[in-house]
Amino acid sequence: MAQTLGIKPLEDEAFRLSGRDRFDGGDATGTFNDRVFADMIGVAYRTLKRWRAAGGTLTWDSADKAAIRLGSHPLTVWGPDWMALDSDEWDDALADEATATVEAVVG
């Protein structure tokens, strides 16, 4: 099973980088809200809602891509939790991704 990380540290980093006020009801224009957050991390609003519905977690590969999209490193966002991920799972996933890329290019 894929390892997961909490979305809260990512959201906190995005909020810090946004320079906006948090949305607390009413008019969301110009505030930090889920639509702004989703855009900042490069995912669809529906994807963010799905992550929240799944307990506020995301897989390590989604976490990696989202942190990089913010201009941060996942280690900066999650700290020791990032380092605690199982490196064997990384190797397997990266090998699968490389195989898929080769098959798509070579045919």
Please say whether the beta carbons of 77 and 83 come within 8 A.
no
For the chain, list the domains and their CATH numbers. Answer: 4-106 (1.10.260)
Is the pLDDT reported for residue 1 higher than 60? Answer: no
Span 41-96, pLDDT tens digits: 999 999 999 999 989 999 888 999 999 999 999 999 999 988 888 766 656 655 66
Q: Read off the amino acid at residue 4.
A: T
Q: Report phi then psi at 55, rounded to 5.
A: 95, 10
Contacts of 26 (CB under 8 A, 6+ apart): none
Q: What is the DSSP letter of 71?
A: T
Span 3-56, pLDDT tens digits: 889 999 999 999 999 888 877 766 667 788 899 999 999 999 999 999 999 899
Token look-up 């900042």 returns 40
